[in-house]
């Protein structure tokens, strides 16, 4: 929440989920997001990660499983800078 607030993103902490902060793999991230989507049925998802493989796994979900959901993926570099890694809807 502090990181996102520092980037100008204000969000309730209840709407933030982390998965595999250390040693997680892309499948873990994709499965966690699928569980979130199935539970909450969102229209739009914002996903931030520092690993391109994780971002690719997340973006593949909308192509294969959730074409009706707008998924926005962002890469965070070691300096904390954010850049768009892709979007699909």
Question: pTM surpassing 0.85?
Answer: no
Q: Look at the block and give the residue holding tokens 């709407």.
A: 15
24, exposed or middle or buried, with CB in 10 Å at 0-12, 13-18, 19+?
A: middle
How far, in Å, CA of 48 to CA of 4, rounded? 10
Between these two residues, 9 and 35, which has the higher pLDDT value? 35
Percent of the chain at pLDDT above 70? 94
pLDDT, tens digit, for every residue of 47-65?
Answer: 988 899 999 999 988 877 8
């Amino acid at each position: 929440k502090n990181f996102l607030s520092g980037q100008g993103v204000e969000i309730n902490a209840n709407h933030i989920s982390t998965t595999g902060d250390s040693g997680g793999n892309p499948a873990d991230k994709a499965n966690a997001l699928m569980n979130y989507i199935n539970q909450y049925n969102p229209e739009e998802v914002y996903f931030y990660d520092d690993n391109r493989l994780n971002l690719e796994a997340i973006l593949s979900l909308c192509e294969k499983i959730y074409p009706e959901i707008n998924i926005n993926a962002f890469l965070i570099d070691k300096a904390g800078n954010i850049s768009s890694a892709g979007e699909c809807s």
